[in-house]
Amino acid sequence: MDPRDDEPQPWSPAGHIPADARRMGLNANVPDGAMLEFAGALDSTKLSHRVVAWVLLVAFLTPALMTVLFLLR
């Protein structure tokens, strides 16, 4: 066995998907898994990553809030 076999390859995914999501069959090649991979790769110490996280939060919550407002109207 080559000692480099244990090292991750540059083209392999970093593995930011939680174990329970992987058990459900999600990986970076399916849309929901790709979103989990992307969100899991964000680093809270970087300002740009925090901005992206807030933009994603607004993008996902806006349709839900609009639907609730429409139903209450």
Q: What is the pLDDT of residues 12-28, one digit of tens each?
A: 555 778 888 888 888 88
Among candidate residues 21, 60, 59, the one with its CA nearest the CA of residue 40: 21
Would you state the pLDDT for residue 13? 54
Query: How many C-beta atoms lie closer than 10 Å to residue 16's C-beta?
Result: 14
Mean pLDDT of 57-70: 96
Sign of torsion, CA 7 13 18 19?
negative
All structural domains of the chain with their residue ranges: 1-41, 44-73
Q: Is the pLDDT reported for residue 43 higher than 60?
A: yes
Structure tokens at 25: 């069959």
Would you state the pLDDT for residue 2? 54
CA distances from 5 to 1, 8, 9, 35, 65 (A): 7, 8, 9, 28, 49
- Confirm whether pTM is higher than 0.85: no
